[in-house]
Chains A and B, each alone.
Chain A
């Protein structure tokens, strides 16, 4: 990475009279927008930058040097599954034919695009043990909301409108309760045991108390500590007996690829993050894709549009159709068209590249890497929960608390050594949580080098804590003043000019 900050805003590169486009020149148009009544037109032209093309290319290329991606180095961000994003997937997704397709084309002109969509639905159903899958949701949180709508729609259809309480472990990611609230559900927290797994006794008591108000339970497994819930089938049985449905948050599905499936654990609805488990790039925060799978009996609740296959008469060929009718069963619609189709192409290419033989090794190799890191770091870093972890491991800061060096300091010091930081201060169960997810993409050499640096930082904390506490030192910028940012928000260039 370039170590100096490239700091100009594109507005500061603007010079009146420069252009960065070439458009057709219609010298004598039959119509111009001056035909529109003046009060329908804006008073002044927008203050957009005026730049030549090279200026724009250099500006954004320089900006990219201030960024850090999986291609730049190890990205052990817990709970985010920052695996390798294969280059071939990008090439496939850039297909010129598909890039130029409109979502409302007649279906007979998009059979291939629909076939891919349909096949991806089937492949995800197979991997999750679900009956049907919708690809409409644009992100994990969007999938969560959609999945919860499925649950509510199902209860409504059964006439059980009082089922509005969603059980969520207190260790859950904040998105779970937020999605439940957006879906009009009331959150009831289930306590965790000291090892982070669900307190089944507390769950039993809540189910008894809430009875016919229980809509269901949201869980991720392995949980947010990377621990497999040992009593998962008991939990599912209890929730089902109370009339609730089990929701699987697919955030940690990578651990289980090849080993077990949400459907087999007793989950009724699940979402999958294509941008985690199926290697589509995170893109600095999106676009993602958050398909939702449901067990048999719930498929009618899925959102429209749906892509369906039917057999052509007198042939084995399939014809693909778009079902976009608002019927009585569907939960409704959660996006304008099919979802983030371009992202799906990347996951499709990734899954086919792995194939049945390789995809089953993903979970075991990711799990091996996490346990390896855990085992080799637990001398210097405090391991609050011993035993096997799955795809990620969680430390509670340094073992030696006397140095005053915090998890934040360690994370920032890692940046100096060319690593992305692990996830910090999540899960909330520990004060100094440091969560490492190495993924199956990383080699033993990469992990060893990272482990060496983590040990070196622990040594620095003992010898020269100030060095760690003031990190990072070699990044384009130092620690940011986020109090200033929140206290006096400057959210646009125009506000900055006035400030």
Chain B
């Protein structure tokens, strides 16, 4: 069964945001990693790239599927999770402990448009 961690914000396209001051760690939810199966590659942006809420910033690939990563918030990429280059399976092992990018938030009010864990769980059940 998929886990839904409290305290995070979620998008409809299954990304989560973990807030840390002015920064946001963005990853994909446990529900999303379950749906994708064995993740074999994560296509990530470069540091200093700009991401825009609602727009694609990379992709997660399994053997038989590929899913675009949609930025839940806008801002500047300050770090990418380099461990994923060699071990994309970390997302399968613990999606919430394995963020993909760290973003300096451009507009914290965008977080209001995202769901809390309860609303997201209901969204996934639809």
In the complex, is A directly touching B at CB under 8 Å? yes
Chain A positions near chain B (C-beta within 8 angstroms): 425, 482-483, 486-487
What is the interface size of chain B, counting residues whose CB is below 8 A from a CB of the partner? Answer: 8
- Asked if B15 CB lies within 8 Å of chain A CBs, one says no
**How close is B61's CB to chain A, nearest CB, in angstroms?**
7
Chain B positions near chain A (C-beta within 8 angstroms): 38, 40-41, 61, 63-64, 88-89
**How close is A6's CB to chain B, nearest CB, in angstroms?**
26
By a CB distance below 8 angstroms, the chain A residues around B40 are 483, 486-487
Q: How far is the CA of A486 from the CA of B40 in the complex (A)?
A: 6
By a CB distance below 8 angstroms, the chain B residues around A425 are 64
Give the residue name and chain of the A residue nearest to B64 (CB): A425
By a CB distance below 8 angstroms, the chain A residues around B64 are 425
**How close is A420's CB to chain B, nearest CB, in angstroms?**
20
In the complex, 14 of the A-B residue pairs with CB atoms within 8 angstroms, ordered by the A residue number, are: A425-B64, A482-B63, A483-B38, A483-B40, A483-B63, A486-B40, A486-B41, A486-B61, A486-B63, A487-B38, A487-B40, A487-B41, A487-B88, A487-B89
Q: Given known contacts A483-B40, A487-B38, A487-B41, what 6 new A-B pairs fall within 8 Å (CB)?
A: A482-B63, A483-B63, A486-B61, A487-B40, A487-B88, A487-B89
By a CB distance below 8 angstroms, the chain A residues around B89 are 487
By a CB distance below 8 angstroms, the chain A residues around B88 are 487
Q: How far is the CA of A211 from the CA of B89 in the complex (A)?
A: 46
By a CB distance below 8 angstroms, the chain A residues around B41 are 486-487
| The 4 nearest A-B residue pairs measured at CB | A486-B40, A487-B40, A483-B38, A482-B63
Give the residue name and chain of the B residue nearest to A483 (CB): B38
Q: How far is the CA of A425 from the CA of B37 in the complex (A)?
A: 16
**How close is B14's CB to chain A, nearest CB, in angstroms?**
19
Q: How far is the CA of A425 from the CA of B64 in the complex (A)?
A: 10
**How close is A432's CB to chain B, nearest CB, in angstroms?**
14
By a CB distance below 8 angstroms, the chain A residues around B61 are 486
By a CB distance below 8 angstroms, the chain B residues around A483 are 38, 40, 63
Q: How far is the CA of A482 from the CA of B64 in the complex (A)?
A: 10
By a CB distance below 8 angstroms, the chain B residues around A486 are 40-41, 61, 63
Give the residue name and chain of the A residue nearest to B87 (CB): A487
By a CB distance below 8 angstroms, the chain A residues around B38 are 483, 487
Q: How far is the CA of A140 from the CA of B50 in the complex (A)?
A: 39
**How close is A454's CB to chain B, nearest CB, in angstroms?**
24
Give the residue name and chain of the B residue nearest to A482 (CB): B63
Q: How far is the CA of A482 from the CA of B38 in the complex (A)?
A: 10
Q: How far is the CA of A482 from the CA of B61 in the complex (A)?
A: 13
Give the residue name and chain of the B residue nearest to A486 (CB): B40
**How close is B83's CB to chain A, nearest CB, in angstroms?**
14
**How close is B86's CB to chain A, nearest CB, in angstroms?**
9
**How close is A174's CB to chain B, nearest CB, in angstroms?**
11
Q: How far is the CA of A487 from the CA of B64 in the complex (A)?
A: 13
Q: How far is the CA of A487 from the CA of B91 in the complex (A)?
A: 13
By a CB distance below 8 angstroms, the chain A residues around B63 are 482-483, 486
Q: How far is the CA of A425 from the CA of B63 in the complex (A)?
A: 14
Q: How far is the CA of A201 from the CA of B77 in the complex (A)?
A: 44
Q: How far is the CA of A425 from the CA of B40 in the complex (A)?
A: 20
Give the residue name and chain of the B residue nearest to A425 (CB): B64
Q: How far is the CA of A486 from the CA of B64 in the complex (A)?
A: 10
Q: How far is the CA of A482 from the CA of B63 in the complex (A)?
A: 7
Q: How far is the CA of A486 from the CA of B43 in the complex (A)?
A: 13
